[in-house]
Amino acid sequence: MMSDPPRRRLPRWVSTLVVGAVAVVFLVPGPWRGLEKVGSTVLAPIQLGVSDTVDQATHVVDTVRRVRVLADQNAEYRDEVAQLQSQLVQMHELEVENADLRNLLSMKERTGPGALLPVSVIARDDTQYVQAITIDHGQDVGIKKDSVVITHAGLVGYVETVNPTSSKVRLISDLNSSVSVRLQTESRTTGVLRGSSQDNSIVISYIPQTEVVQPGDVVLTSGLGGMYPEGLVVGKVARVERKDADPFQAAVIDPAVELDKLERLYVLADTGQ
């Protein structure tokens, strides 16, 4: 028994045309009004197809509308996240400033009488042979040549030149810098700390071999020489270099201040020098 050949579906435009024609027939009065029931039966499948098409189109429109709404919401969320991130940055900066103020009070106790003038770094000379920075104040706030520059962590250097609205500060890691220091140990070993061209390190040289120096020993300013007041933290001994045939030893110092990350500093004025 042979199966019926597959039915060919009419193009959509044909079904639309038929629907329109039949609708006209039933809307216009005449003898064909009796065909209404028959027409409804014939048109039912076509109406169903048209209804499905309309539903699909409506679904597409709704989907597009929801996509637009979600895109607008995402844009708003991105703006809110950006604002929150900006607020977090501002809060962090306020925390840093508050910490600086607390450290400033602590420094006043350690440095004694004299003004602590807040300054900021605006330029840097960072080469193998020159370790210096430029700060944003000078004669305008009473900064003087040879004034000591510190942070809450310890010694930075001294003011080498003063301009009307800026100053150049030579760091303790500079080759031409020298600081009279002592170790905070029972031996109270003293020496002169100088910058080195090797890895920009700072070293106390010519320490007698008889002196006991160990990594971790705290290094302070000794007050000798008249430039730096006594008791400012310089750093800690990182390692000791000894040679059996040499009567002296050297101590490489890890500075208390991160000299390559200087931002907010204080100039110690009226030190009595």
Beta bridge partners, 120, equal 264
Q: Which residue from 206, 231, 248, 211 is spatially nearest to 154, judged by alpha carbons? A: 231
Which of 247, 263, 246, 183 has its CA nearest to residue 219? 183
- Please report the DSSP string for 172-240 in residue order: TTSTT-EEEEEESSTT--EEEEEE-SSTT-EEEEEEETTS---TT-EEEE--TTSSSPTT-EEEEEEEE
- pLDDT for the residue numbered 14: 52
Look at residue 99 in the predicted model and tell me its pLDDT: 65
- Give the number of C-alpha atoms closer than 13 A to the C-alpha of residue 198, restricted to the C-beta side: 5
CB 223 within 8 A of CB 180: yes
pLDDT of residue 159: 96
Instruction: Please indicate, yes or no, whether the overall pTM of this predicted structure exceeds 0.75.
Output: no
Identify the pLDDT of residue 5.
55
The domain locations on the chain are 12-111, 116-268
pLDDT at 113: 54
Residue 108 confidence (pLDDT): 58
Dihedral angle sign, alpha carbons of residues 70, 71, 76, 81: positive
- What pLDDT shows up at residue 32? 47
Distances (CA, A) of 36 to 15, 16, 21, 120, 150: 18, 18, 13, 93, 102
pLDDT of residue 272: 46
- Written as tens digits, the pLDDT of the chain (273 aa) is 455 555 555 555 555 555 555 554 544 555 544 444 545 555 455 555 555 555 666 777 778 788 888 888 888 888 788 777 777 777 766 676 666 666 666 665 555 556 788 899 999 987 778 899 999 999 999 999 999 999 988 999 999 999 999 999 999 999 999 999 999 988 888 999 999 877 768 999 889 998 999 999 999 999 888 889 888 999 999 999 988 888 899 999 999 999 999 998 999 876 444
In CATH terms, the fold of domain 116-268 is: Thrombin, subunit H (2.40.10)
pLDDT at 269 (0 to 100): 79
Residue whose C-alpha is closest to residue 266's, from 121, 160, 112, 126:
121
What confidence score (pLDDT) does residue 45 get?
Answer: 54
Residue among 272, 271, 266, 270 nearest 104 (CA): 266
